[in-house]
Amino acid sequence: MTRVLLVDDQALVRSGFSLILSVEDDFEVVGEAGDGAAAIELTRALRPDIVLMDVQMPVMDGIEATRRIVAENLAKVLVLTTFDHDEYVFDGLAAGASGFLLKNSDAEHLVEAVRTVAAGHALLAPQITRRVIEQMVAGERQSPVERSSSVERSSPDEPVEAPVVRQLTVAPAGLALLTPRERQVLELVGTGLSNAEIASTLYLGEATVKTHVSNVLSKLHLRDRVQAVVLAHRVGLV
């Protein structure tokens, strides 16, 4: 059973998500929150597996709430928004979100998205990956953490964490742990290909590709597929 917390400032939206998920046998909606600050408190109290997180909310936005939830390792976060803008995807991923989904997705895609993230996979369409990862690697824009660390903080106790891209420095010895096939898979992951596309390219079964991707993440101590894409670019595999 996957426990889900719904976070959105519109009660009707939360009700709609709750109806969609509650009819599935493997989901349990454990709570609802109307802003990011309340989401953090409820996540600490209820310990859901997945938090469906809106972006634009009062009191605290979904990006900052995601950053704090992930930093405390409280739950995985699936960011939901009505805005198909690079900046929301970039900021959500930099904050540690495991996926990004538009609110206008149909019920089937919502259910599949929650299952995907619950299974430990990152949810990001290949076309979004290709568009956004280049910005992350090239440094064309700063993450919220970089922006906040470049100015004087209002509180000396406020933590400052390294941006997600800067955390992905792997020594050559780390890459040396990969088999030739795993390195090949990492290169293709870095181009934004899905498992199905990699399987077609290498003439492998999709289950085999999933195993290779899992091995790559484990050997390189990466949180998810998105970090693997960033790493592939940073070390020059792509």
CA-CA distance, 98 to 116, in Å (whole number)? 10
Mean pLDDT of the region 77-102: 75
Same domain, yes or no: 112 and 188: no
Among the residue ranges 4-13, 75-84, 164-173, 224-233, the one predicted with the least confidence is 164-173
Q: What is the pLDDT of residue 138?
A: 57
Domain membership of residue 131 (yes or no) is no
Grade residue 208 by pLDDT with cuts at 50, 70 and 90: very high
Is residue 146 pLDDT above 60, yes or no? no
Residue 53 near residue 79, CB atoms below 8 Å: yes
Closest CA to 84 of 132, 144, 36: 132
Mean pLDDT of the region 18-24: 92
CA-CA distance, 88 to 81, in Å (whole number)? 8
Same domain, yes or no: 11 and 97: yes
Dig out the tokens for 129 from the structure.
Answer: 């990956």
Which one has a higher pLDDT value, 120 or 60? 60
Domain membership of residue 153 (yes or no) is no
What is the residue range of 105's domain? 2-124
Q: What is the pLDDT of residue 144?
A: 46
Same domain, yes or no: 89 and 168: no
What CATH number is attached to the domain comprising 220?
A: 3.40.50.2300
Q: Could you say which DSSP state residue 123 is in?
A: B
Mean pLDDT of the region 163-172: 48
Neighbours of 56 (CB within 10 A): 13
Dig out the tokens for 62 from the structure.
Answer: 């979904």
For the chain, the domain total comes to 2
- The residues facing 2 across adjacent strands are 27
Residue 25: alpha-carbon gap to chain centroid: 24
Domain boundary among 99, 124, 149: 124
Q: What is the DSSP string of 134-165?
A: HHHHHTSS--HHHHHHTS--S-TTS-----TT
φ, ψ of residue 154 to 5 degrees: the values are: -75, -25
pLDDT tens track for 173-183: 678 889 999 99
- First-to-final CA distance of the chain: 38
Domain membership of residue 141 (yes or no) is no
CA-CA distance, 36 to 64, in Å (whole number)? 7
CA-CA distance, 38 to 7, in Å (whole number)? 9
Report which residue type is found at 34. Answer: G
Grade residue 118 by pLDDT with cuts at 50, 70 and 90: confident
Q: What beta strand segments (E) does 61-216 contain?
A: 76-81, 99-102
